[in-house]
Structure 1
Amino acid sequence: MSNYVSEIMSRDLTMVSVDTSVARAEQQMLKRNRRCVPVVDDQRNIFGVLGYSDIVKHRQNQGNLRSTKVWEICSHIVFSVAPMATLETVVDVMVENSVHHVLVLEGKVRGIVSIMDLLQLYRSKLVSPDAREEATADSPQAITGTDGIYRL
């Protein structure tokens, strides 16, 4: 039974430097399947957080991803918890601030907790592995469609 953030946080972090181009950060995020990355300075202190939504907004505003540095568009408001924070605490932080990721800090960045981490934990407590396998065995893997008609 997981009760603490340290038990579910992702430790395999992708971090980007403040001087990384947005284009390069996006490549790293896509390669590592990350929706959010901590932005750090030269001493690896937390500077901010770059979310994929920041990149999308910048692109929509006709921003140049190659010449723009991540420090220019990242969020400078960082929501964080300690490794020994309870799961209730991290959920409260996410809900109260409408965020999907919370950094785990203890001097430096130790990890990150995403809403997906919490949902996976929730699912594992609700459904046994055997029941989950049975429920997904007959489920379609994709929905395909043409001309507005979709088949399940």
Structure 2
Amino acid sequence: MANTIRNIMTTDVECVTLLDNVYEVACKMRDHDVGIVPVVDDQQNCIGVITDRDIVIRGVAGKRSGSSAVEQVMSETLITGTPEMSVDEAAKLMAEKQIRRLPIIENGKLAGIVAMADLAVRDKFADQAGYALSEISEQRGEEHLQ
């Protein structure tokens, strides 16, 4: 199916483990120009994510140092997709959950990640990305950290 997430997801994803600290995560974000880093266990199971917002809200504003453990700032509640889901399904899920990045899991392992930008740069998927972004931007209420 040409319209699946597998065709647009980023597969070369930088990850961290619970052995890393917040400073190391921030450096990976800077060095790879990303706003999210999945947290994986030793079998590559995605057990959480750290976003740039997590670092600011739970780290800096929470008065935690850069040497704080990953698990002190990571988001453990994961919203994930699969490589075989359609771009439309992913866009709707991202809009509904008000997230801009979606970890993609296959056979229990992290397979990649899809960001709103991935949807937006594909001309044929621009409508789905626009819909999701407008839903994320317009909805009010509790803000999600992911």
Aligned partners of 1:4 and 1:123: how far apart in 2? 12
Corresponding letter in the other structure for 2:110: V
Residue 116 (structure 1) aligns with: 117
Asked if 2 retains the 8 angstrom alpha-carbon contact of 1:4 and 1:84, the reply is: yes
**What TM-score do you get using the length of structure 1 for normalisation?**
0.76
Count residues with an aligned counterpart.
125
Q: Return 5+ residue gaps in structure 2 as ranges.
A: 128-146
Q: Residues 41 and 23 (structure 1 numbering): CA distance in 2 closer, same or farther, change over 3 Å? A: same
Corresponding letter in the other structure for 1:95: A
State the superposition RMSD in angstroms. 1.9
Asked if 1 retains the 8 angstrom alpha-carbon contact of 2:11 and 2:112, the reply is: yes
Aligned partners of 2:40 and 2:117: how far apart in 1? 23
Query: Where do residues 131-142 of structure 1 align in structure 2 (5 Å cutoff)?
Result: none
* Fraction of identical pairs, as percent: 26
Corresponding letter in the other structure for 2:69: K
Residue 85 (structure 2) aligns with: 85
Name the one with the larger strand percent: 1
Query: Which one scores higher on RCO, CA 8 angstroms, separation ≥ 6?
Result: 2
Shift of 1:123: 7.7
Larger Rg: 1
Q: Residues 103 and 125 (structure 1 numbering): CA distance in 2 closer, same or farther, change over 3 Å? A: closer
Q: Return 5+ residue gaps in structure 1 as ranges.
A: 127-152
Asked if 1 retains the 8 angstrom alpha-carbon contact of 2:119 and 2:126, the reply is: no
